[in-house]
Amino acid sequence: MVHKTPTRGQNTPSPRQAGQTWWHTRSAFIQRASKILLSCILALILLYTADLLPEAKLFLPPNIKPLAGNNLFYFQTLPAWGTISIDGHPQSHLPTITQDLPLTLAQGTHQITWHAAPFQDMSCTITVPPAKEAQTCPTQQLVDNNQRVHQATLVLPPQHYSLDTLPDAQRQALITTVQNTLDTLQSTATVQPGEPYLIEDRIQIAQSQLKATQRFVLDIDTSRPTTCNGVRLGDSCNYNGQDCRRFCTIAWPEAISDQTPPHWDIAAIFHPQWSYTPTQKNTSGSLQNSMPAQFVTLHITWHQNTWQATFHPPLESSFDDPNCITTISTLVQNTRYQPEDGYHWVYISGHNRASGCIAIQQRTSANTLQPLAADDIMLIDRFGVLLAGNTATARRWSDLPRASMEVLQQAQASLRHPAFLT
C-alpha cells in the first residue's frame, strides 16, 4: 500500500495549522483515555470493595444481577488441607462460598474426586443440568450465600470424613491423639469427710478422706446405643446425619486466611469419669462413676504425617470445655435453674478441673464475667453435685448443700485465674 503525501492546496493545512490540529487531537485523545482509565480504576475499586464489604453491593450498578444457574458449583473442602480434581484435573483454587464466584461447568457428566491424605480418596459424579438419577454426589442448593450469586449448587463428598474413612493405623493414631488431648485436663482433688459426691446418680457422703480423679474418656463404640442429653449439636449423639462417636465433620465459624493452618474441626463424644480412692493406707476399695455422654469439639491438624488436636479458644464454644459441659447440660435441662430476664449464666473452669465448674448468674451479656455482687447467684458443680456458693444462692435453692470454706477458696482462685470461660 502506497501512502501519498498530500500536496499543498486549499484544503491542506499549513505546518503550524497541522501542529495545532495534531495538538488538539492529542489533547482530546489524552482526555478520553484518562476518562476511560479513571472509569476502569473506579470499577476495580468497586469490585475489590464488594469482595471485602457486604454493604458495598449497594454501590454496584443496578443493572448487574446476582448470578443464578444450574451450572454454577461450589465444593465442600473439609478437611481444609484437602484438594479436589474435576474430571482428573486438580483444582489449584476452589471458590469460597461466602465471597467468590462459583465454578461454571459445561453440560454433561463430571467426575469429582476428593484427596485429603491420610483419608481415603472419594469420588462421585455430578451432571449438568442436574439429574438425580444419574449422579452420585450429594448436593445442596445455596441461595443468597454470596452477594454476587443468587443461586448455586454445593457439591459434597459421597461420605462424611470420619474415623471410618481412615486407614486402620491412622484411625488408631488419631484416636490416641484426641484421647491424649483430653487427658491433659485430667486432675485430682480431695473429698473431705462429710462432703457429698455422686455415684451412679446417687449422692454419697464421704465418711473418710478420698482422692478424687477426674478423666474425660472418648466414646468411639458404635456397637451399642448411647444417648447424649443436655446441650448438643444435633439429635442425641448425632450431627448432620453423622454419629459423632466416629468424629463428625463440622463447619467451624472462623475467619480463614492464608496464615490459617490447614485443619479439620470435629465433634466427638466423651464420658466424664470419676474414681474415688481412700487416702488411708489401711482402707481398701475404689469407687468408679461414669457420667452421661456429652459432646466435645476439637481442632485437628495433619502436619508432617502426624495428628495434632487442640481445643478451640475460650469464648468460641462451650463444647470445648469438657469440665463445664456437664454442668451446662444440668442447668439447661432443669427449669428451676433458668435465669431471670436480663440475667445470663457464665461458666468458669479453673486449671484444676477436678475442683469443679463454677456457674455464676449475672445481669450482664453472655460470656463475660463481672466482679461478683452480693445478690449474684453462684453454683459450684463439684464431684457431680451442685453446691450453693453464697448466701443468695442458698436462699433461692435451700435444698442445695452449701460449699465449704475450703471449696469457696478454691473457687475464688479459679475466678481470679480462669482456665476456660464460656
Q: By C-alpha distance, which of 141, 77, 140 is closest to 114?
A: 77
Render pLDDT for 397-408 as a digit per residue (tens, 0 to 9): 999 999 999 999
Residue 162 has pLDDT above 60, yes or no: yes
Residue 18 has pLDDT above 90, yes or no: no
Comparing 51-55, 87-91, 211-215, 369-373, the range with the smallest average pLDDT is: 51-55
Render pLDDT for 254-287 as a digit per residue (tens, 0 to 9): 644 445 678 999 999 999 999 999 998 766 678 9
Task: Tell me what the pLDDT averaged over the chain comes to.
Answer: 84
Question: pLDDT higher for 315 or 89?
Answer: 89
Render pLDDT for 117-150 as a digit per residue (tens, 0 to 9): 999 999 999 999 998 889 999 999 999 988 899 9
**Contact yes or no for 319/303 (Cβ under 8 A):** no
Radius of gyration of the chain (CA): 32
First vs last C-alpha separation in the chain: 83
Render pLDDT for 183-204 as a digit per residue (tens, 0 to 9): 999 999 999 999 999 999 999 9
pTM of the model: 0.80
Residue 75 has pLDDT above 90, yes or no: yes
| Strand runs labelled E in 161-305 | 187-191, 196-199, 202-205, 210-218, 238-239, 242-243, 248-249, 264-278, 287-290, 294-303
Q: Helix (H, G, I), strand (E, B), or coil: what is residue 327?
A: helix
**Predicted local distance difference test score (pLDDT) of residue 246:** 98
Residue 245 has pLDDT above 50, yes or no: yes
Question: Percentage helix, strand, coil, to 5, in the chain?
Answer: 25, 35, 40
Residue 56's pLDDT band, with cuts at 50, 70 and 90, is very low
Q: Helix (H, G, I), strand (E, B), or coil: what is residue 310?
A: strand
